[in-house]
Amino acid sequence: MNRRFALIQALVSLIALAAVVWWAAKQESPKFPSGGDAIAWLAAAAALYAVATIMRGERWHWILAVAGVRARRGDCYALTCVGYMGNNVLPARAGEALKVVLLAPRCEASRRTVLGSVVAERILDLVALAAIFVVVVYGALSSSVLPTDRPLLVAGLGVILLVFAAIGLWVLRRHHVFERARDWLRPLADAPRALLGREGAVLLIGTFALWAVEAAVYLAVARSVELDFSVTGALYLVALTNFVAALPAAPGSIGTFDAAVAFGARRLGASGSMAVTYMLLLRFVLYIPITVVGLVILVTRFGGWSRLRTAVRLGAEAEATRA
């Protein structure tokens, strides 16, 4: 199962990357900014992404506190960087497993309990991004970014997807998958269950603020290449790229992220050459600095490569158990 999933990830990334390279080769050569204003915008984008990373660390610390886990705030901030580094260089989003393995012994909590806090983070992100996408696309950008002007066709496709989802759920229920999953997931439930209270509402508001800061990163990079994106356009790109990046892909969402950025930028009016330039600069800002910082933190504070190998092995064992 692990090898098959790794193959699927590689194929998805290769197909998406090949499509992006084929499309980019037909555009004019990208022109990277070199003026003082452009450099200042890129520096602002990097600073804003650092703020968003701190906000993610604070949110994780709060989720753990709500779930009754006493973790140091500094550990949460540092391991947020380490987790992103792991997702960018390791398969199967192993950065999440890395966070769990490294934090659990430092806060005297079980790995499944800590994993529950990571699940809660993803739930908050999913709710916030889905809301942003629906409001921005259907409320503000429908005339320029919707793939079709036939709402009945879109609604029909939605109904078909729901029917397939219902069939899938029926099959899983007949094979008692939910019962086995519920037994395995029970220790994870404390943090997601806490989202149903007042603290969950506050965390959701904070998640919206977090994604607004990340949209500012997208906007600052656009300004560096003189792309006239609006705030709603930046929010659209944030939601689109993060939904596509959730697809099975190679480390760093190679291919899938790039395809989503190029598609979104073109829908927002960027020329082919400008879209390529924007895609490359955005990938640099979002992936390179945090990968370097996370690697330095891992080596200097959390035991280095030996702990990294342990996290990868445990993540693979967890996937095999679920399978």
The pTM is what?
Answer: 0.80
Residues 6-61 pLDDT 10s: 677 778 788 888 888 898 888 888 788 788 899 999 999 999 999 999 999 999 99
Band (pLDDT 50/70/90 cuts) for residue 104 is confident
Residues 106-116 pLDDT 10s: 888 888 888 88
Band (pLDDT 50/70/90 cuts) for residue 294 is very high
Number of alpha helices (DSSP H) and beta strands (DSSP E) in the chain: 14, 0
* 29-37: Cβ within 8 A, 24+ apart: 29/273, 30/273, 30/274, 30/276, 30/277, 30/280, 31/273, 31/277, 32/277, 32/280, 32/281, 33/224, 33/225, 33/226, 33/281, 37/224
Residues 201-237 pLDDT 10s: 899 899 999 999 999 999 999 999 989 888 888 999 9
CA distance 145 to 230: 13
CA distance 121 to 114: 11
Domain boundaries, the chain: 2-322
Token output for 236? 């659209």
Token output for 7? 């193959």
Token output for 148? 């079709």
- Indicate the DSSP class of residue 28: P
